[in-house]
Structure 1
């Protein structure tokens, strides 16, 4: 069922782009999607790859091409890799809300409910401007039902009912169907915190009692891999995040003599060690990708 909804979500995205005034690049991406849907996946993906090659890395055009490469990828692993790159390297990208929603859905496909909750709560707390709050609340209710948190799930579905747009008929029908499970269940009127889920906010007001990476033997000056958690055009923004993460116990630094200024955690001798660190870091609600250290 979740896999089917993922396919429907991709189709809805293409319809939304088609319905808007399109730039030439938008038309290319819609054409690529149709090629993939019509049985020519190699040609469609090659078209997206050509847009990626001709776009300047770090530009909005590059981020858009990366989004479509993720959306039309042949495997969920490739999709996830590109979506994570967007979250980390393009924090101001216009579709960040959609990217977080896709990551949550991919986590659900592999049964990682806690990680899905982290992404969905980030949409609610960090990105209300992206307009997919209703969808995030709907999916949060699905996750919480699977976790047997019925009051929390029903609170989330109540939020979804309040937020959904009148003309979003498909989502409204899904919300109404889900709401049938909440007959007679009291809700608090606001999404309750999920005790089993990590704090979704990357920067907490109080430090984590036990540092996750600062004292790890894997963090050392000779490592060749790091976990990158953000990239900024302004060095002051990168330093600000670095300072806050340091207070939480992370061995964090800012790399780059010029923009983009990359916020990275740890140095690891192998990719496997860096990947393990990435997974630990994400349990603190911080998305990251494994990169070669400078």
Structure 2
């Protein structure tokens, strides 16, 4: 029945354990591969494998989506996760290619996913602009220049007349300077420029008072309603996470923590993945 795969998918989404969810997702992929739920089930299976740390198994599930379901609505999200796995495997070339495909296939209404793809694409190098060197114009010799060159050649072959005796100029003999022993020599004092010390240079440099440190957070979800965002934030707080709700552009974003560096935030994200909490790192708004 067409409704049965849909019921399986929702039961897997609400399952109490990862094993139960994985069983239902595999049931959909194997027994109902032509249903609309099959690509999403593959995506969920890949996320479960990533939570276990098995990137190769996750990549196997994800790469089936563009191969077997090229017209699925889940294709941009699948390519986003393919790029993410490649980046975690330090395969930047394939990661950037998959990330570019995800951005090209994305619908204009998927604002949140677009932000995730663009943030992930910051790891990709910018395309190098081709530089065309200007060609040097070749000058064609004119008749005047050719005649001048020939005249110089003739002049060079003419013998040089011998110099006459009267043309020689007497050499100038300089007399040595006489130093008066009664007068001591004048010695000019060398002035050494003053080099400012490190303390002087430090004292002159003042940091602007309005500069604030950049902080990073882990975003786990975004909702259109405040009640849904508050519900998830409260649930995460009961599990010991420093969760909050940030509001911007009519979206209520559930984010965790404020970390001094992006690397620390990525480490927190890896720990959350082990507990089946997915998300991505963003710059936290100013306090």
Task: State the TM-score, normalized to the length of structure 2.
Answer: 0.43
Instruction: Name the structure, 1 or 2, with higher relative contact order (CA <8 Å, separation 6+).
Output: 1
Task: State the TM-score, normalized to the length of structure 1.
Answer: 0.42
Structure whose CA Rg is larger: 2
Q: Which has the higher helix share?
A: 1
